[in-house]
A and B are shown apart, each in its own frame.
Chain A
Amino acid sequence: MDPAPTSKVDEVLEADEARLLEGLRAGDEASFEELIRLFGGRMLAAGRRILGNEEDAQDALQEAFLSAFRKIDSFAGQAKLGTWLHRVAINAALMKLRSRGRRREQQIEDLLPKFTPGGHFEETPGRWGEAADGPALRHEVQEVVRAGIERLPENYRIALTLRDIEELSNDELAEQLGVTVNAAKIRVHRARMALKELLDPVMREMNP
């Protein structure tokens, strides 16, 4: 797999970060703008993935920055500034998601593998092709993966997005979802299994 492209966020050096923090704490307008331009793109992308639409993602980004500006004095620097802002953005996006009103919890059971009473797969899992697992993802596969994630019940989609895409740890995920670590792990696992089932027909066809 090719390494992820370097983003602006990756290029922020510690010295730049210290200078930026100093400006923010001094209330320097240009520093606030620099912070938004440096880190906002990645935060906005996370909001889009969680909320699924541009308007809500932009609202959440605004809330995230206002919250970050209020808390900047208490930012202790244990985490990188970019990592901290990413967590603040996720928090704001989840708040926005909750404010839309609670959707009926959807069931995921139909998308999970079934087993015989003896514990064997009811339907033997098929082998996937290698062609789909690489940097040159075919357009078709990209679309299928995106559509598959969208089709997951919301509480599972969010768990998978936060753990596998936003790369929260199991502990952070549990905290964000307000459940135990074990429950968070099970939710992600079920989401992955369900997504695998949704991708299965296309991926099996790629078997050489």
Chain B
Amino acid sequence: MNCEQLRAAAYGYFEGLLSETQRAEFEAHHAACPPCDERVTAAKQLNCQQFSEFLASYFDGDLAVDRKAIFERHIELCPPCGDYLKAYEQTVHLGREVCCEGEALPQEVPDQLVQAILEARKRE
């Protein structure tokens, strides 16, 4: 198993989906390759539920540097969380676009309302 294959197999490894042979190959590479060891160790510090809890802070840019590194390691080795993050970002953008640019009603104050506000001011 090389580094690329380890990255691709990581989600299956964490989920317990690998065969015994694949698992052994994964662990052998992991033990022999310091960069992959660092990657897997960092990814193990966060599970998908914790990932989801940190998502808003990551999105807002509020995560501390060390937490951010662990978060990004998790995304690297967990495609479903990568997909979840992209969909989360799209959700925010879609809400913003639809509500700000696709308004069905014009952004003008009706004349009648302008006059009503001016009248109410005089009565105050």
Q: Which of A34-59 contact B (CB under 8 A)?
A: 36-37, 40-42, 44-45, 48-49, 54, 58
Tell me if B108 counts as interface (CB < 8 A to partner A): yes
Question: What 1/0 mask marks residues of chain A from 140 to 179 whose CB sits below 8 Å from any chain B CB?
Answer: 0110011001000000000011001100001000000000
Interface residue from A37, A65, A160 paired with B95 (Cβ < 8 Å) = A160
In addition to A1-B93, A125-B83, A165-B99, 16 A-B residue pairs with Cβ atoms within 8 Å of each other are A7-B107, A33-B114, A33-B118, A41-B109, A42-B107, A58-B113, A61-B109, A62-B117, A69-B121, A113-B52, A128-B87, A141-B94, A146-B99, A185-B56, A195-B95, A199-B87
Task: Point out the residues of chain A lying under 8 angstroms from B55, CB to CB.
Answer: 189, 193
- Main SS class of interface, A: helix
Write the residues of chain B forming the contact surface with A, with a CB cutoff of 8 angstroms: 14-15, 47-50, 52, 55-57, 60, 80-81, 83-84, 86-88, 90-103, 105-110, 113-114, 116-118, 120-121, 124
Q: Are A196 and B87 in contact (CB under 8 A)?
A: yes
Are B86 and A128 in touch, CB under 8 angstroms? yes
Please indicate the chain A residues that have their CB under 8 angstroms from the CB of B120 in the complex: 62, 66
Interface size class of A (residues with CB under 8 A): 35 or more
A53 to chain B, nearest CB (A): 11
Inter-subunit contact A41/B107 (CB<8 Å): yes
Cβ contact within 8 Å between A145 and B124: no
C-alpha spacing A29/B115, complex, angstroms: 11
Q: Nearest 8 CB-CB pairs, A to B?
A: A119-B47, A41-B107, A189-B56, A40-B109, A119-B49, A115-B49, A125-B84, A145-B98
